[in-house]
Structure 1
Amino acid sequence: MPDRHARSARPSQTGENGVLPGLLEAPNRVAVLLPLPLDHPYDYKVPPGLDVRPGDIVLVPLGKRELTAVVWDPAEREPENSTSDVEADIVEDRLRPILRLCAAPPMTPLLRRFVEWVADYTMAPQGAVLRMALSVPDALQAPKPSLAVRLPASREKNGEAADADIKWTAARRRVFEEAKDGVARSPADLALAGGVGASVVRGMIKIGLLEQVEVASPRRFETPDLDLPSPEFFGDQADAVQRLRASVQDGAFSVSLLDGVTGSGKTEVYLEAVAECLAAGRQALVLLPEIALSGQWLERFRRRFGVAPAQWHSDLTPAQRRDTWRSVAEGEARVVVGARSALFLPYGELGLIVVDEEHESAFKQEDVVCYHARDMAVVRARLGSFPIVLASATPSLETLTNVKSGRYGCLKLHKRHGGAELPSIELLDLRKDKPTRIEGLGQSWLAPSLRAAIAETLAQGQQAMLFLNRRGYAPLTLCRTCGHRLRCPHCTAWLVEHRGRSFSVEGEGPAGDLQCHHCGYRARRPECCLECGDSDSFAACGPGVERIAEEAAALFPDACRAVMASDTLTGPNAAAKMIQAVQDGEINLLIGTQVVAKGHHFPDLTLVGVVDADLGLFGGDLRASERSYQLLHQVAGRAGRAGRPGRVVLQTSDPDHPVMQALRSGDRDSFFEMESQMRQRSYLPPFGRLAALIISSPVEADADGFCRNLAKRAPGQEGIEILGPAPAPMALLRGRHRRRFLLKTRRDLSPQAVIREWTAGIRLPSRLRLQIDIDPYSFF
């Protein structure tokens, strides 16, 4: 496998379709980086009369295709690799020309440096990282002009007499009267004003009664109003606001952890830093882990600035993505709130980044380019020399370690806003308080004490929430007769049963109720067992959130219930409607997965019941305890956020587990100190480095053979440990057999350098894929 940094300037090394690696400098050739999984730029010829510079976005040929790409900075060449004049002339004849310059703002030097840095750190091809920055091809073309209609000058003067042969209908006269003011407006607006259909206006344009003119495009995003009053801040909040404003005013790189308990007003505090950034004429970016569930955040932003920010997430339409991308590049969008991919938008004047809920694993991308948006956001702020704020009630151990070492600053908010108290947390021991069976439903999953607490809460006119971090109705379906389990044919995973919705299954009828949560495979539950042939023998095992909702319906039939999970919410609008319904009291018993845990404010919610608090504690995840604590702490934080006290009940089979004891006592810092000491003894992150190498192939033997050869070359120097190869926990994923190596190094060693040396010279067969994940977060 060639080193992605080992480039040669020899003209004989041609690339794909006669395009040359972009390493030769001459007045009529430039290096161009293509948004493809390529390790380096390629040389293209500059046609006469075309002036291109680094950062320009251009259209270039590649084989029979035409691709948008970016003119890259010229690479440095070693003197011994210099090319003779004769060789250069030969090379020149083989270069293909740039087709044209795209009508888009050039990519800034900062963004180009960021692309190179991310590619170098993640060991991904530069072109693959560039593709994330050029994710909207339509935005790279000149926008269509905005057209409006108005009366021609001759019509304004002569009226209907200008053309006696034109038939003047009542509809045309109404439009004519509206247009007499001479104002150019859109055809739709003029039709609406005249009370006619669009066809009437189109007909008047066709016969010359109206003329089309180009007008300036309307603003896509309004400017935030900095004159609106900010909230009143007291105590810790006021101190945090002052310090964050000062860091923005300094205009230098800094990292500040905003560490506040749930409900302490972290959002309002960091919005003051956003206001300071806008006042300085810079753009601001706020990263959220679940942008589709950001309705309450957007409302807080509107209250503070009077307008909505630009949004960036996967649910935008193509037109919205195009407009937002160009608005960011042109500086019209002053504030962007988005998911992790918003980090690669083409900001021209970025002056502040905020990473809200910085501990969330949703910031980690685990395919194509494996990167953690929180860490890369810190890098982008450092490259741009501006501040970044990390906000959380349960910061990651990595961030807390950086605070302890002095690399990051820390601002603490110890109290909830408005004098609200933190909820009390109770551990319900399922070994003693066992759930009983429900007639007609079978095994119950809610213990008697939790049922009584829900009934009492609802009787008092308050809201309750049940939390289970498992989608669907049941995680496993098996045959009672022979024990056969229904599994995905493409993955090492059981099929999850769903009953709360139906979906089409190709070739299997109109509805299905089994789904793989890894590859999306769907099927209907068979009537007969595929192994023993017994009919009506399948049983749903274990609860999903839909099963809990079914039990809640049987136990509390008068409650207004709703299920809130990622597969029951079809987008931001559906999420916003449900959140509003809870706030308005239309729902008093909410059943949900982890999407209910992230930043929502429900003033009347006073009880949270966690059905299976032990769910995330076990398995091969080194962060299992940390992530379980964070999730359960966030869920608990939904209770008692207003005047009424909150109560949290955790159902557990292991109440003595350190996570459960830390949650009950509220001693977060002692728990993280204990977790830190355990990681330090084992040289695990953040006190050591990890990197995963995942080899996959549709043929199992091919993957095993390649792994054997790679294992023979494994480095064995001090401070390096290689685990594997071994089948990945998800040994079959989307039809590909997967094997893993786990590289473990001391903190002072670079896993990237070790991997480059380890894999140098190894050829990867075409059917095999090698994925490198630096700092892995999951180990499936």
Structure 2
Amino acid sequence: MNRVRLVIFNAALGPLDYRVPEGMAVVPGSVVVAPLGPRQVVGIVWEAERLPASPVPDSKLRPLVDVLPVPPLRAELRRLIEWTADYYCASLASVARMVLASGGALRGPATMTEYRLTGGMPERMTPQREHAIAALEGEQATIRELSGIAGVSEGVLRGLVNQGVLEPVEVDCDRPYRRARSDYAVPELSSAQKEAAKRFIDAVAAHEFAPFLLDGVTGSGKTEVYFEAIAAALALGSQVLVLLPEIALTEAFLRRFEDRFGAVPVVWHSSLKSTERRRAWRAIAAGEAQVVVGARSALFLPYAKLGLIVVDEAHEVSFKQDDGVRYNARDVAVMRARFEQVPVILASATPALESLQMAASGTYTRIELADRFGGAQLPEIATIDLTEEKPERGRWLAPRLVEELAARLERGEQSLLFLNRRGFAPLTLCRNCGFRFKCPNCSAWLVEHRLSNRLACHHCGHETAPPAACPECGEPDCLVACGPGVERIADEVAELLPEARVAVVTSDTLNSPTKAAEFIAEAEGGAIDVIVGTQLVTKGFHFPELTLVGVVDADLGLEGGDLRAAERTYQQIAQVAGRAGRGAKPGEVYIQTRHPRASVIAALAAGDRDAFYDAETEARRHAGAPPFGRWAAIIVSSEDEAEAREAANRIGATRPNLEDVMILGPAPAPMALLRGRYRYRLLLNARRSAEVQDVIRQWLGALDFPSGVRVAVDIDPYSFV
């Protein structure tokens, strides 16, 4: 090849052609360095016939600078990049950038210096040094990373190096991982589990595309079943990818994996240190990483010999990315398996309606586990009608739920209270003048967090300390917290049951793998009596002594404009209910609601999942909603409200008139101001036969917008704010 076409990471420029210098070997998928103006940029060599570009004569081509020492991206991965860009109306460059997610990994083998505590003490102890020494116990990383972990300046740490408190350690950046063994601790499975596992093992051996929906009730042992598929892949020398929806679930999963296979898998998520990302990326690309467990971004890593993909808790909304490339990792996982010709397992106790429909049509093979493992029974579910059984004034827990909490405490059993609302209270206002604390960057109220003494926006991260007086009228001691968050419920439990040991579990309190591990150890060790948590506790956790689940406000998820609200509410409550009675002791679930006859609540109380899904399926069919129709959103934003409105109106004025596509809007988004940008939305509802992506590309491609305007496309949206 003396001429190549590159995808470079600048979507505005598109593909560019370069000359290959004599003696330089490149193939499609090679990662190269190329000149761009006065700079040098990284690019990926692509098949020219698949990537149209403006013709440039050979005499004007600039030569490539270098080929980076990493394996070329395989054709299967390049096809996935193309499909993702096309389906989600994203640029090829923005998708390809996710593949090369570790810049350090592209530089070849290397060593680096990390630091760890020696056990010594400095000659002079300061508060910062004392804090750093306590925070860095058991840690080893670069000075910069240790600074972030300890929350002190790099200068403080360099002083500890000079004092001999921290010592340098030379580390091989690409040192190998411990090997997992398929036969390390083979479990005893039930007959139903064995039957399901055999289907997966046969599919792994066939090495053909085979999408499975593993539909098992909570506690049925889905993880143990797909572990057998992982064991089969390991025995064949193939790589496995397991996607998890939350980083907080990773620690519990890693321990279960190590118990089964004798080594922890390779981990991939946004909280990894740069050295860890580099090591993982290179091991994956070289085929040395056997099993990778990660968040949705792990889907685009350059696996050398992928043999199986598992998507655990496949119904979870967090698999949908809501900025950048707005892809759904569940659906892209199926497409990656198709390109790689390998099986993919979507595991869930409450599958997405789209997945159930794919199984009903025969596209997916549905494998059911109808019973809990080891004879454990599903919990009894009862509703508490809050219009009749009202909590005491100023409280949020009904008397019957409080009685059940006290009974569990007396018996030494654990309870879980679920409320999907972080912080102490969702709104703080002045009782004197009515002033409400609002985020300056978003159309949202500031949430009071008493544990950290702050008012915070959960959309942009803006924080401020609660003032002593109202900023509007100046009245002191007049601020009132309105409504409950998990911190307020935890306070209520502490007041009603002062001897109870209460843990608040949210993304604020379990914001690192270490804290997640500490929580799991305390809960399993019986050091916690009552867990009060958000959706973080609805999945993945197994506490045998937990026998009571209370849903504080089952109606919360049904509010607002979420078009999947009923399904999402059902999934959340069914999942959290599934935490109860997973051991030898039976479990009970109490659902507090003001609408006990609502279809979602009634189905949960009756334990009739099929009735709910049947009703929801018919409602979707009637509305032309997914999976029977298609949705797409166009989101227009600008820091200037008039500019955003004008751009949205221009888009609306040039809308195509098509029989199979209905276009609604433009209208101000429910979250009209987000992170300092004013937002307008249009929603497309199309028949399955409509080529929605082509319609949008042709429609928006004919328009120009001011530089301050962003126009984002969201195919199959899950967020409607």
**1:642-691, CA deviations, whole angstroms, 9 ceiling, x for partnerless residues?**
11000111111111111111111111011101000000001011110010
Amino acid at match of 1:466: L
Structure 2 counterpart of 1:628:
569
> 2:406 is matched with which residue: 455, 459, 465?
455
- Report how far residue 39 of structure 1 moved: 6.9
Secondary structure, aligned partner of 1:679: helix
Q: Distance in 2 between matches of 1:616 and 1:63?
A: 52
Aligned to 2:416: 465
Larger deviation, residues 371-380 vs 534-543: 534-543
Equivalent position of 2:428 in the other structure = 477
Kindly indicate whether the alpha-carbon contact (under 8 Å) linking 1:39 and 1:126 is maintained by their aligned counterparts in 2: no
Deviation per CA, 1:246-303: give whole Å up to 9, x if none.
Answer: 1111111111111000000000000101111112221000000013322222122112
Q: Residues 236-635 of structure 1: matches in 2 within 5 Å? A: 236-437=192-393, 443-502=394-453, 513-635=454-576
Q: Quote the offset at 1:722 in angstroms.
A: 0.5
SS in 1 for 2:401: helix
Change (3 A) 1:60 1:521: same
Residues 545 and 64 of structure 1: CA distance in aligned 2, closer, same or farther (over 3 Å): farther
- Cα displacement (A) at 1:220: 2.6
In 2: Cα distance, 1:38 partner to 1:363 partner: 28
Match of 1:777 in 2: 718
The Cα of 1:760 is off from its aligned counterpart by 2.8
Q: Distance in 1 between matches of 2:493 and 2:503?
A: 10
**Is the contact between residue 36 and residue 131 of structure 1 (CA under 8 Å) also seen in structure 2?**
no
Structure of higher CA gyration radius:
1
In the aligned structure 1, how far is the partner of 2:111 from the partner of 2:302? 22
How far residue 749 of structure 1 moved from its aligned partner, in angstroms, is 0.8
Distance 1:372 1:223 in 2: 31
Flag structure 2 segments of 5+ consecutive residues without an equivalent: 114-160, 163-169
Alignment partner, residue 127 of structure 1: 93
Give the C-alpha shift of residue 230 in structure 1.
1.6
The one-letter code sitting in structure 2 at the alignment partner of 1:678 is A
Alignment counterpart, residue 42 of structure 1, candidates 16, 19, 25: 16
2:70 to 72, 83, 104: 104
Residues 424, 448 of structure 2: 8 Å contact kept: yes
Q: CA deviation at 1:713?
A: 1.2
1:667 to 605, 608, 626: 608
- How many residue pairs were aligned? 671
SS of residue paired to 1:616: helix
Cα contact 1:46–1:97 (8 A) shared by 2:
yes
- Cα offsets for 1:705-729 (capped at 9, x unmatched): 1122211211112111000000000
Deviations 1:448-502 (A, max 9, x none): 1111110011001111111111000100011112212110011000000001124
Distance 2:206 2:32 in 1: 37
CA contact 2:110–2:174 (8 Å) conserved in 1: no
1:36 shift after superposition? 2.9
Conservation of the 8 A alpha-carbon contact between 2:632 and 2:717: yes
Could you state the TM-score of these two structures normalised by the residue count of structure 1?
Answer: 0.83
> Residue 38 of structure 1 contacts residue 127 of structure 1 at CA under 8 Å; is this kept in 2?
no
Q: Report the secondary structure of 2:683's partner residue.
A: strand
1:740 lines up with 2:691 in the alignment: no
- The residue type equivalent to 2:62 in the other structure is R
How far residue 562 of structure 1 moved from its aligned partner, in angstroms, is 1.0
**How far apart are the structure 2 equivalents of 1:455 and 1:445?**
16
1:609–1:650 Cα contact (<8 Å) kept: yes
Aligned 8 A contact 1:427 1:652 in 2: yes
d(CA) in 1 for partners of 2:415 and 2:57? 75
Deviations along 1:220-241, one digit per CA (max 9) or x if unpaired, are: 3122112324211222211101
Question: Which portions of structure 1, spanning 4 or more consecutive aligned residues, are displaced by more than 3 angstroms?
Answer: 214-219
Output the CA distance in 2 between the equivalents of 1:218 and 1:323. 5
Q: Retained in 1: the 8 A contact 2:173–2:279?
A: no
The whole-number CA distance in structure 1 between the counterparts of 2:224 and 2:182 is: 14
Q: Structure 2 CA distance, aligned partners of 1:633 and 1:566? A: 20
Q: Quick one: structure 1 residues 215 and 569, their matched pair in 2 at CA, closer, same or farther if it must change by over 3 Å? A: closer
Q: Is the 8 A contact 1:39 1:125 kept in 2?
A: no
Determine the structure 1 residue equivalent to 2:694: 753
Q: Secondary structure at the match of 2:93?
A: helix
Structure 2 Cα separation of the partners of residues 477 and 735 of structure 1: 21
AA in 2 matched with 1:697: S
User: What is the match of residue 88 of structure 1?
Assistant: 57
Name the CA distance, whole Å, in 1 between partners of 2:684 and 2:266.
40
Q: Counterpart of 1:371 in 2: which secondary structure?
A: coil
Whole-angstrom CA distance in 2 between matches of 1:405 and 1:656: 31
Following TM superposition, by how much is the alpha carbon of 1:97 offset from its aligned partner in structure 2, in angstroms? 2.3
Residue deviations 1:53-76, cap 9 Å, x none?
A: 211111122233322221111136
Q: In the aligned structure 2, how far is the partner of 1:38 from the partner of 1:580?
A: 50
How far does the alpha carbon of each residue in 1:503-539 deviate from its partner, in whole angstroms, 9 at most, with x for none? xxxxxxxxxx101000001112223323333222211
Tell me what 1:235 maps to: 191
Instruction: Tell which deviates more after alignment, 105-114 or 395-404.
Output: 105-114
Cα-to-partner distance string for 1:616-665 (whole Å, 9 max, x where unaligned) = 01221111000000000000000110110001111111111111111111
- Structure 1 gaps of 5+ residues are 1-26, 148-197, 200-213, 438-442, 503-512
Deviations 1:97-135 (A, max 9, x none): 221111111111111111111001111111000111111
Query: What is the rounded CA distance, in whole Å, between the counterparts of 2:662 and 2:588 in structure 1?
Result: 46
Offset of residue 244 of structure 1? 0.9
Distance 1:755 1:613 in 2: 38
User: Partners in 2 of 1:735 and 1:598 — Cα distance?
Assistant: 34
Aligned amino acid, residue 375 of structure 1: D
Tell whether the 8 Å contact from 2:110 to 2:173 is kept in structure 1 after alignment.
Answer: no
- Percent sequence identity is 52
Matched-pair contact (CA < 8 Å) for 1:256–1:411? yes
Residues 35 and 134, structure 1, Cα contact 8 Å, conserved in 2: no
Contact kept in structure 1, 2:174 and 2:282, CA below 8 Å: no
The verdict on how the C-alpha distance between 1:217 and 1:727 changes in structure 2, with shifts beyond 3 A counting, is: closer
TM-score under structure 2 length normalisation: 0.90
Matched, 1:33 2:2: no
The amino acid across from 1:49 in the alignment is: G
The C-alpha deviation readout for 1:186-212, integer Å capped at 9, x for no partner, is xxxxxxxxxxxx99xxxxxxxxxxxxx
Can you list the C-alpha shifts for 1:308-343, whole angstroms capped at 9, x where unaligned?
000001111110000000000011101001000000
Cα RMSD (Å) of the superposition? 2.2
Cα distance in 2 for partners of 1:774, 1:764 equals 21
1:60 aligns with 2:16: no
Q: CA deviation at 1:218?
A: 7.4
**Equivalent residue for 1:10?**
none
The one-letter amino acid of 2:325's match is: V
SS at match of 1:520: coil
CA distance in 2, matches of 1:392, 1:260: 6
Q: Displacement of 1:596 after TM fit?
A: 0.9
1:103/1:141 contact within 8 Å kept: yes
CA distance in 2, matches of 1:82, 1:736: 35
Aligned positions of 1:170-189 closer than 5 A? none
